[in-house]
Copies of this chain bind each other. A is one copy, B any other.
Amino acid sequence: MSWTTDPVVEDGVSEREFTLDGAGGPIPGVRWAPAEGRVERRLLLGHGGTADKRADYIVGVAKLAAAKGFESVAIDGPGHGDRVEPARRPTSETFFQRWDEAGGTESIVADWRQTLDFLEADGGARPTGWWGLSMGTMVGLPVCAGDDRISIAVLGLMGRWGPNADDLVRLAPTLRCPLRFLVQWDDEVVPRDRCLELFGLLGSERKTLHANPGAHAAVPIGEVVSSVEYLDRHVQRRPG
């Protein structure tokens, strides 16, 4: 588990790749950070299904967060991105099957725990947030519920739905960190009612749902920007 490239600076953001020795093979990741100034906070970015660690919106959120002094980290999800041959990457048709083949929820939680261990060993403990929608919530909800180091989350576009619906329903009430949960009112992938149901199950005392009209992938840009401002305002280490 180590850095695999030197930092590359572009538009004031320093980008560097790393690889972790995962149980199921190498896990490629990217870290973005402000090129100048002190990094005091950390953001974990979970990409959506069939996308990867360099999806446009992942890079976009990383850059917005870098402007506020966050380092941001994304890894390829199980069976996604550089963890598989291009021909084996999931499509919307094979997504459910690939999730199970790649080891399901437990495997993903282990990957992220390892990622956070690596980052803490390298840069120390920092107040840490999670940002991930759709598969980024299928992954993020279990990760956040199982790791006290993550003190705030932006989740959404997910419900009692998909290959780990049972895990989500089981773990939702155990989540404790403050969170914002995004819903697309006309979601054609994850039905709105399933999303509302999952929001209702989340155990966090401080949770807010933001819903906008539009399809699954049509989250308004302003909502994305606002979600980073939310993390900026609220991320802090939990007492104790």
Residues of A within 8 A of B (CB): 183, 185, 196, 199-200, 205, 207-213, 220, 223
A208 near B211 with CB under 8 A, answer yes
Considering the complex, give the chain B residue whose CB is closest to the CB of A234: B222
- Distance between Cα atoms of A202 and B13 in the complex (Å): 41
A211 to chain B, nearest CB (A): 4
B207 near A212 with CB under 8 A, answer yes
* Pick from B200, B207, B209: contact of A209, CB under 8 Å: B209
Q: A185-B200, A196-B196, A200-B185 are in contact. Are A209 and B211 (CB under 8 A)?
A: yes
A223 neighbours in B (Cβ, 8 Å): 208
- Distance between Cα atoms of A223 and B210 in the complex (Å): 12
A68 to chain B, nearest CB (A): 18
- Distance between Cα atoms of A210 and B227 in the complex (Å): 13
A199 neighbours in B (Cβ, 8 Å): 185, 211
A140 to chain B, nearest CB (A): 20
